[in-house]
Structure formats: C-alpha cells, structure tokens
Amino acid sequence: MDHFFLIAGAGLLAGAMNALAGGGSFVTIPALIAAGVPSVQANASSTVALFPGGLASAWVYRDGLQPLGNVSMRLLLLITLIGGILGAVLLLLTSAQTFDHLLPWLLLIATIVLSFGRQFGEWLRRHVHIKPAAVLIAQFVLGIYGGYFGGAVGIMMMAVWSVLTNRDLKTLNPPRTIMVSTANGIAALTFIIAHAVYWHETLIMLVAAIIGGYGGARIARFALPQAVRVATLILTFGITAAFFVRAYG
C-alpha cells in the first residue's frame, strides 16, 4: 500500500494521456521503477497494464481497416506479430543494468517522434516513394520496437504508411491502433508466460488506466488539442531529461 497512490495516479494519468495524445508509458514506467520494480520488469508490467485500454480502442476501430496501397492488413498484422514477439524476447534477454542505460535513449526517440512524427510523415509523402516491400521491412522493425519498448510506435507507423497512400491521417488511426495493440498484446502474453510481470502493481495500474482512458476520452471532447499537445511534450521532455540524469548523472 506504500506506493498505491503513486501507481494508481500514474495509471489514471497514463490512460488519459493515451486517450488524448499518447505517451502513457512515459508515466507508467517511471512510476513502477519508483515503486521498486526493476526497469525491465517495469517495462513489461507497463505493457500489460496499458494493453486493455489499447484493446478497447482497437475494438472501436475494427470496422475501419482497409489495405494500405498494395499492402494487405493481414500481412501487416503477421509481420507486426512476429516483430512483437522478437522485441519482447529481446527485452527479457536484456539485463536491468543495460536497460537502465538504454531507457533514456528510448524515451528520447519516443519524445522526438511525438514532437515531429506527423511533420516527418508529411515530408516523406512529398519527397519519398517507398515500395510495399520496404514498408513490410520497416513494419517488422517497428514491431520489434513495439514489443521491446513501444513508445510513440503508432506515430512511427503512420509516418511510414503515409508514403503509400494519400488517405487522410485520421483514416490511418484504425490500422495504427490495431497494429500497436497487436505488438503490445503478443509482448504482454510473452511477459506473462515469462513471469516478468509484477501483478500487484500491474493490476492497480490496469484498473486506473481504464478509468483514466474513459476520463481522457471525455476531456478530449472539449480540450484544446494544442494545449494537450504542449502539456504532453513538456511532461515527456521532463521525464526523459530526468532519466538521462538517473542513468548518466
């Protein structure tokens, strides 16, 4: 009970963040580490805790799936699934000390993508044409990243996909949500089988994240998108800087 409010509060905030702008793992992983969970297991537990919220979103979007150019959804799902398994296994093979030094860099990558991912996708669409085979390779790599860490992986996917189609970015939300849930789901299952989940903390965070996700969805109806984005980026930059100090300070 010493860390109950820390874990529950982080779950509430992360659920709301994911509903509003993404970046919930920026809150859950540090909270679990602060509660005494080793960093690798904190990442695994965070994935399991946040998965139900993502699954609920995927269910809502289930009717919005369409092929991306010449790439079928089934093939993308299969590639993402395989990549997610490999990423989860790689995480479990990473020592806590190594992951402690990798985590700030992973957070930095995710922060940069949260900041500039959409603009990068638009630039790609104007200047680059990627063949379907290259997209599948990129999707495999992103599946590995999603299973290993996953921060901002959905925005990364949309940036890559945007070069295949002229569809509005909003229409890419359904496949993004499904693919992210696929990578997270297979990673969560792998972590559970490997007994890498701290269940007491995870269940508290899971319930709180569902409540936070519902509240975040309600807030999204009247919140100013730019204000939400600025607040999210300030938080993510601050947490990233703190983890660099923790690892190298």
Q: What's the one-letter identity of residue 206?
A: L
The strand pairing partners of 71, in sequence order, are 68
**pLDDT block averages, 10 residues each, the chain of length 249:** 89 85 86 95 95 78 71 89 96 94 91 80 75 85 92 80 70 81 93 96 95 80 78 88 88
pLDDT at position 82 is: 96
pLDDT at position 110 is: 86
Provide DSSP, 149-170. Answer: T-TTHHHHHHHHHTTT----GG
Q: Which residues contact 121 (CB under 8 A, 6 or more apart)?
A: 155, 158, 159, 160, 162, 163, 169
Q: What's the one-letter identity of residue 193?
A: I
pLDDT at position 167 is: 67
Nearest to 13 by CA among 242, 226, 225, 235: 235
Claim: this prediction has a pTM higher than 0.95: no
Are the CB atoms for 39 and 98 separated by under 8 Å?
A: no
Nearest to 187 by CA among 95, 50, 60: 50
Cβ neighbours, 10 Å, residue 59: 12
